[in-house]
Amino acid sequence: MPHHDQKPLTKLELDIMQVIWRQGRSNVGAVQEGLEQPLAYTTVQTMLNILVRKGHLKRKLSGRAYEYSAVVSQARASGHAVRDLIDRMFGGSSEALVMSLLENRQIDSQKLAELSRMIDENEGGRK
């Protein structure tokens, strides 16, 4: 994966990526409509081109307009982001991340037990 040294996405870049993950291949106008906050067409266009340059999106000419699509899936991108967070904040320990979530009341033991059950079911289905 050549984009492993990618800088984290800004809030706005992430918002735009989420529109494309949700809608699939989109032109500037479709992305502009899909955004929660109103942005000028030229701003959206600029942001899309920055994301192309950073390797998050690819673009393809369709008629007279470019259509933009995601290079990596949302699942893969969030996997990279989580891995990055664990490496930087928790010394590479996913247990430390989970402990932090518990300590900060972001998750409770009941939810954790539920997740644990889901993981067991998931892994059971793979064997």
Query: Are the beta carbons of 23 and 96 closer than 8 angstroms?
Result: no
Domain ranges for the chain? 1-89, 92-127
Residue located via tokens 């892994």: 123
Spatial separation of the C-alpha atoms in residues 21 and 23, rounded to whole Å? 6
Mean pLDDT over each residue of the chain, to the nearest integer: 90
Check if the beta carbon of residue 50 is closer than 8 Å to that of residue 13.
Answer: yes
User: Residue 28 has what DSSP assignment?
Assistant: H
Kindly state the tokens that stand for 101: 């979530």
Amino acid identity of 105?
R
Q: Angle at Cα 29 formed by Cα 35 and Cα 41, nearest 5°?
A: 80
Confidence of residue 81 (pLDDT cuts 50, 70, 90): confident
Kindly indicate the confidence band of residue 2, based on its pLDDT and cuts at 50, 70 and 90. very low
Give 8-26 pLDDT, tens digit per residue.
Answer: 788 999 999 999 999 999 9
Model pTM score: 0.73
What pLDDT does residue 115 have? 87
Tokens at 77, concatenated:
């991108």
| Confidence label for 125 from pLDDT (cuts 50, 70 and 90) | low
CA 92/CA 96 separation, integer angstroms? 8
What is the dotted CATH code of the domain comprising 1-89? 1.10.10.10
C-alpha–C-alpha distance, residues 51 and 22, integer Å: 16
Q: What is the pLDDT of residue 122?
A: 84
